[in-house]
Structure 1
Amino acid sequence: MWIYRFTLSLLLSWCLLAPATLMAMTVTFLNPGKSDEVYWVTASNCMMTAARNLGVQLEVIYAERDHLKTLELARQIAARPLNARPDYVILSNDYAVGAEALRILDGAHIKTFFSYSSFSDAGEREKVGAPRQLYKGWLGGLEPRAEDAGYLTASALIQRGRAEKLTGADGKLHMLAIAGDRSTTTSYKRNEGMRKAVAEDKNVILDQVIYGDWNRAKAQEQSAWLYQRYPHTRLIWTGNDLMAFGAMESWRARGGKPGRDAFFSAINTSAEAFTALESGSLSALAGGHFIAGAFSLVMLYDYHHGKDFIDEGLELDRSMFILFTPEESRRFQSLFGAQNFDKLDFRKFSKVLHPAIKKYDFSFRQLLNQAEVRK
């Protein structure tokens, strides 16, 4: 009899614990970047911390900046047995592959959420419509306000150029821009922010915009002939840190000294970028937006547990970027320099876990402050 009671007790205990395991929320992140690319690895690592905080099973798969691979990965996920499919897939519309990936995943009844980059092109938007309409499983999205990054860095660059009196013979400041790519929403919006800063100052001329595909080597090659074409230009705006490094290398190759006779801006939070900012070779650096994926997990966690984000909107475009000072650069490296985000607790941002929260706050500076407190 005691064996029966003991077995029954074990069974009841297992039943009480099992639902947490059996019903664990599962998410796959189709990371569009490379598995050795600092920004996208940082984004994934931060998401891993949020997943641990929230008890979410997170799978990260890198597309290695191959848009065709993104679609192949989507097909592979859709072809998995039902019990092996994730509850949600987080993806980015880099290189305009989002519409086709969405079609594939929605056809397999897998819920999707766009993070980092969604749909801005009118043709794409006509194909996909709005979340939860044509594609019922497309829940929504969260994008960093990419215009902020372009505007903040370009404004700081222009201010530096004015302080250094770098005007040409025509009395104008001249700028070159090395943008990301022609099709990704993030790239387009960063360019918009940069152009806004230029338009606000009538003494600035944007000599040319080229596209470096986020690539260091390509930006190095392109900038070499740009410097020949525009020998009097001294302000170089770039859409990410890798392209800034490439442009700085080609400037050095011609005998120049970044931060002294030409001024560069960048976006992202790599250790190399912070080192360049502190040394002065980089004059403006914006970043912090890698947290978009982690906050996307918070939103999906709340949705999964009965608190829909629809009251704030289905496609959120929120401020996340900050323009780093050298002091903030040092703080960031001290807190997160080893790609360790364990000082952060993303449970604090969940509406399910903290019902008093009425509106999500996605700012990066609050995370810096939270980590500093827990240091």
Structure 2
Amino acid sequence: MILKRIRNAILALAAPLLLASPALASKDKPVIGVVVPTLAAQFWNNYVDFMKKGAQELGVDLVVLNADNKPDQMVKSLEDLVARPVDGIIFTPYWATAARGLTLAKDADIPVILTDSYPDFAPQTSRFPNYKAFVGPSDQDAGRQMAEALFAAMQPDANGKKVIGVVNGTAGTSVAIDRRKGLEDALKSHPEVVVAGEVDGNFVRDTSQTVFESLYQGHPEIKGVWAANGGTATGVMTALKNAGKKPGKDVVVVAMDLNPENVDAVKNGDLLFDIGGHWLQGGFALVMLYDEIKGHPVPKAQDNVKLKLLPLTQDRIAQFQADFPAGVPPYDFKAHSRVYTPEAAAAAFELKYSK
């Protein structure tokens, strides 16, 4: 009886340690789950590749799941990560999935950083204390810059009008909404510009090509296209070529993302203007979440990051390629992590040309 009591006492003392050990072991090499809207878009592949580089440098086990442009799959992916469980989650809350995903993670005490598309509530509040930060682009500013470049390059028709078509992104996302707001800002000061029609390209190439083909057939007077992202622009340019038109000459196109194929399109004159670099947001979020997991909380003053993006026109191609070989800026993940560098600068930074 005495031996049994001793054994039970030892087990009782050991139980908390046994329960805690998986989490402690996990945090030696944190497991961070990532859910992206779709890997059918080049942008999200760039996003993931940069995160993989960061995971290797920091010592993170990265689990990447693809929502495949399906709201239900986004939620299921989040449920899978919570059930695994992971030490942290980074996801892009398309289709109003922010509250659902944050609730799942909150119930499991998992910290989360949202990227690219933000909800209508701030990070680090009592509602979702596990929502540590948002990192994404200044979409409205980018949308306005795209529009201004497009309008300036177009010649008015015989009636003094500049007729454009608009291919928007995924409906209902803050990304698409804010970029369209930027276009609207520019339209207010350009009464000569007429929007012949708008379609939803869902931020992917094939859909954008199909919907723009229909729009252009109905409105051959279109001489400029505001395309919501890089994949959308590629679809638009393909549609124009299939219609026997020369992008950049017969119809001017502007876009956003700085995907490699769009950089090439700017270089050869098919694409007038591109702006981007925000696929880096995934790597920035990774550093912030890694530090959070390791006991260095995201400072409140740095919990809502809206990145100013890098504009690109044909005359800046040489400088872009010199400053960003392969389109990637130099970035030392450990130098931006307070785990490795106690006085580290903020994880995110603004892309700029050196000259």
Q: Same fold (TM over 0.5)?
A: yes
What runs of 5+ residues in structure 2 fail to find an aligned partner? 1-23
Aligned position for 1:23? 28
1:346 aligns with 2:350: no
Aligned position for 2:304? 315
Aligned with 1:237: secondary structure?
strand
1:251 aligns with 2:208: no
1:90 aligns with 2:93: no
**Letter of the 2:238 counterpart:** E
What runs of 5+ residues in structure 1 fail to find an aligned partner? 1-18, 370-375
Q: Which moved more, 1:131-140 or 1:106-115?
A: 131-140
Q: Distance in 2 between matches of 1:93 and 1:287?
A: 20
Out of 294, 305, 311, the residue aligned to residue 283 of structure 2 is 294
Q: 8 Å contact 2:336–2:345 — kept in the other structure?
A: no
Q: Aligned pair in 2 of structure 1 residues 59, 328: CA closer, same or farther (>3 Å)?
A: farther
The TM-score normalised by the length of structure 1 is: 0.79
Q: 8 Å contact 2:226–2:255 — kept in the other structure?
A: yes
Q: Aligned pair in 2 of structure 1 residues 46, 136: CA closer, same or farther (>3 Å)?
A: same
Aligned position for 1:326? 317
Q: Distance in 1 between matches of 2:95 and 2:77?
A: 15
Aligned with 1:169: secondary structure?
coil
User: How far 1:193 moved relative to its partner?
Assistant: 1.4
Aligned position for 1:363? 350
User: How far 1:229 moved relative to its partner?
Assistant: 3.1
Q: Distance in 1 between matches of 2:217 and 2:352?
A: 40
Q: Distance in 2 between matches of 1:102 and 1:311?
A: 18
Q: Distance in 1 between matches of 2:217 and 2:144?
A: 27
The TM-score normalised by the length of structure 2 is: 0.83
Aligned with 2:202: secondary structure?
coil
Aligned position for 1:7? none
Aligned with 1:182: secondary structure?
coil
> Per-residue displacement from partner, 1:118-143 (whole Å, max 9, x unpaired)?
114xxxx4xxx753412232222212
Q: Distance in 2 between matches of 1:74 and 1:358?
A: 30
**Letter of the 1:93 counterpart:** P
Q: Distance in 2 between matches of 1:194 and 1:132?
A: 32
Aligned with 2:163: secondary structure?
strand
Query: Matches of residues 266-277 of structure 1 in structure 2 within 5 Å?
Result: 266-277=255-266
Out of 50, 56, 60, the residue aligned to residue 60 of structure 2 is 56
Q: Distance in 2 between matches of 1:141 and 1:263?
A: 34
Q: Which moved more, 1:281-290 or 1:307-316?
A: 307-316
1:145 aligns with 2:138: yes
Query: Matches of residues 1-375 of structure 1 in structure 2 within 5 Å?
Result: 23-34=28-39, 36-80=40-84, 85-120=85-120, 125=121, 131-161=124-154, 166-324=155-313, 325-331=316-322, 335-336=325-326, 344-356=331-343, 361-365=348-352
What's the C-alpha RMSD, in Å, of the aligned pairs?
2.7
Q: Which moved more, 1:271-280 or 1:356-365?
A: 356-365
User: How far 1:355 moved relative to its partner?
Assistant: 4.6
Aligned with 1:364: secondary structure?
coil
**Letter of the 1:187 counterpart:** A
Q: Aligned pair in 2 of structure 1 residues 152, 348: CA closer, same or farther (>3 Å)?
A: farther
> Per-residue displacement from partner, 1:136-166 (whole Å, max 9, x unpaired)?
32222212211232122221111211xxxx2
Q: Distance in 2 between matches of 1:74 and 1:360?
A: 25
Q: How many residues align?
A: 330
Which contiguous aligned blocks of 4+ residues in structure 1 show a shift greater than 4 angstroms?
A: 19-22, 351-361
User: How far 1:22 moved relative to its partner?
Assistant: 5.7
Aligned with 1:322: secondary structure?
strand
> Per-residue displacement from partner, 1:249-272 (whole Å, max 9, x unpaired)?
222233211111110112223332
**Letter of the 2:109 counterpart:** H
Q: Distance in 2 between matches of 1:335 and 1:326?
A: 11
Q: Aligned pair in 2 of structure 1 residues 344, 176: CA closer, same or farther (>3 Å)?
A: same
Report % sequence identity.
Answer: 24
**Letter of the 1:86 counterpart:** V
User: How far 1:244 moved relative to its partner?
Assistant: 1.5
Q: Distance in 1 between matches of 2:29 and 2:204?
A: 38
Q: Aligned pair in 2 of structure 1 residues 321, 193: CA closer, same or farther (>3 Å)?
A: farther
Q: Aligned pair in 2 of structure 1 residues 223, 160: CA closer, same or farther (>3 Å)?
A: same
Q: Aligned pair in 2 of structure 1 residues 105, 20: CA closer, same or farther (>3 Å)?
A: closer
User: How far 1:188 moved relative to its partner?
Assistant: 1.0
Q: 8 Å contact 2:93–2:119 — kept in the other structure?
A: yes
**Letter of the 2:230 counterpart:** D
User: How far 1:235 moved relative to its partner?
Assistant: 0.8
Q: Distance in 2 between matches of 1:179 and 1:22?
A: 41
